[in-house]
Chains A and B, each alone.
Chain A
Amino acid sequence: MHIPDGFLDLPTALATGAMASAGVGVALWQAKRTLPARRVPLLGVTAAFVFAAQMLNFPVAAGTSGHLVGGVLAAALLGPSAAVIVMTCVLVLQCFLFQDGGASALGANIFNMAIVGGAGGYAIYASTRRFAGGLRGVVFGAAFAGWCSTVLAAVCCAGELALSGRVAWRVVFPAMAGVHMLIGLGEGIITALIVVAVARARPELVDVRAEITRPGQVLALGLIAALGLALFVSPFACEWPDGLEKVAAKLGFEHFVSEKPMMPSPLPEYGLPGVKGAWVTPLVGMAGTLMAFALAFVLARVLTPKKEI
């Protein structure tokens, strides 16, 4: 999901950069006020951990492999503002030393994966873990938030690519969202498995009773994530098929926009073949979400012992 250089035009790069700086600024300010000094090295070491974890691949299917992104994992174990800082550092280092993700797209990548993926993921984790109690709730929340944050970040990424006018929304949205609905399953499962493994080894690191740390903390970061989603995604979502054309005409790059889909895809326009109408896309999205929700629930049941110790 790392956007390379050249895929974002300068206005989009600047806008995402501004949103990312705002989010990271808020996270740093909050961390400065609430993070105890002894946790400072933990941020750096966790960032190194996430980087190392991303280098270990697990087999998926047909010879492909995936790896952890880690935003929700960091958020579940350290809290939202720490997760934003950790993921930002991971992305900065990946950009400078690994050339994974472009320098001009650094703002977009930080916004998608650190702020939407980390802080947004934390909001989902914190609100869904209440569906079950104790460790089971934590595992369920982590699995579901892992899936959601991957899909949300991908949708954000699609919006930014489309806003730059390089790729049409109707091409990039189904591709990104569809692929990441599958990748998200892997992220959710691996996140849940790691949380369980950590809870087994050092139960005090996974605080099952901890209440949501200061609602204001989540609110401020969540607000920025929501604002970014509104900025980068809603121009396309509100007037479903024609949103991009309108934006394209306004910004003057309509020649990039395709008139009709070039390839008959198995799920054309991200919907079921034969079913027409704007309601299909939200329906597919909803079905996917429900499936992930159910999967997270099953996972939580299977992975945690019957009786809480």
Chain B
Amino acid sequence: MRHDFLDRYSRQDTPTHRASAEAKLTCGLAVVALTVAAPLDALPYFVALASALVAVALAARIPLNYLGVRLLWMEPFVLGVGVLTLLQPQGWKVFLGIVVKSTLSLVTMAVLANTTPFAEILRVLRRIRLPALLVTTLALMYRYLFVLVDEAERMQRARVARTFDRRRLYSWKMLATVLGQLFVRSTERAERIYSAMLARGWK
């Protein structure tokens, strides 16, 4: 697994990436809030926002097809909930409006994530005095996420290499064993991390 599959382009060096994380975070969240609050038929605003997002993505050298693929991944969830609005009169208007709003917010967040390294976001969260336990947990989670995803993949691969039974019940049981084992390894890792943290003067 590539270690940057979540925010692949967040560590580039462009003026957008160099801008302060505080400003980008505030800006991104404000744009999302504005989009959510906008009326369903605010077409000029949607068009303006879409072109602004494309401009920022180009300026930050985030390939548009990467954003497109990200969008394809996430759009089914938007459509899944959105379909419910179709079941009422005039539903398609609500549906179109909501899907456009959702998609624009999604792209906004994707651009934000790919122009701001998560470490910078953590620094901002610490600066606005978010409780230390929450920030520590987020930081450790981001750090070990890739390690555990790798570990899970290794275990899955080992399992696939050794068994070839694809019955459903069997695969559930195998998945549970893999996950249970992953949890056990995670707790052991956490114990080692704690010793390492103490050794480096954490308190």
Contacts and interface: CB of A to CB of B under 8 A. Distances in A.
B145 A93 contact: yes
B156 A97 contact: no
A4 B112 CA distance: 16
Contact of A45 (B28, B77, B134, B144): B144
B175 interface: yes
Interface in B141-184: 141-145, 147-149, 151-152, 156, 168, 171-173, 175-184
Q: How large is the interface on B (under 10, 10 to 19, 20 to 34, 35 or more residues)?
A: 35 or more
Interface string A185-196: 000011001111
Given A48-B144, A52-B152, A166-B94, A190 B172 contact: yes
B180 A194 contact: yes
B67 to A, nearest CB: 10
A53 B102 CA distance: 26
Contacts of A24: 134
Contacts of A46: 183, 186-187, 190
A56 B32 contact: no
B118 A96 contact: yes
B194 A41 contact: yes
A90 B145 CA distance: 10
Contact of B141 (A5, A28, A68, A89): A89
Contacts, number: 247
A93 B175 contact: no
A261 B87 contact: yes
A201 B184 contact: yes
Interface in A258-276: 258-259, 261-263
A212 interface: no
Contact of B84 (A38, A171, A197, A200): A171
Interface hub of B118, B179, B187 (most chain A Cβ within 10 A): B179
B21 to A, nearest CB: 12
Majority SS of interface residues in chain B? helix
A172 B87 CA distance: 9
Question: Which label, helix, strand, loop or mixed, suits the secondary structure of the A interface?
Answer: helix
Interface in B98-157: 98-99, 101-102, 105-106, 109-110, 112-113, 118, 121, 131, 133-134, 136-145, 147-149, 151-152, 156
Contact of B102 (A6, A44, A51, A202): A6
A63 to B, nearest CB: 12
B149 A44 contact: no
21 contacts: A2-B77, A7-B81, A40-B133, A45-B144, A47-B138, A48-B141, A52-B149, A55-B149, A59-B168, A59-B171, A93-B138, A93-B141, A97-B7, A100-B74, A102-B109, A167-B85, A168-B88, A255-B90, A258-B89, A262-B87, A263-B87
Most buried by B among A43, A97, A263: A97
A201 B186 contact: no
A202 B182 CA distance: 12
Contact of A85 (B87, B137, B151, B173): B137
Interface string A100-144: 101110000000000000000000000000000000000000000
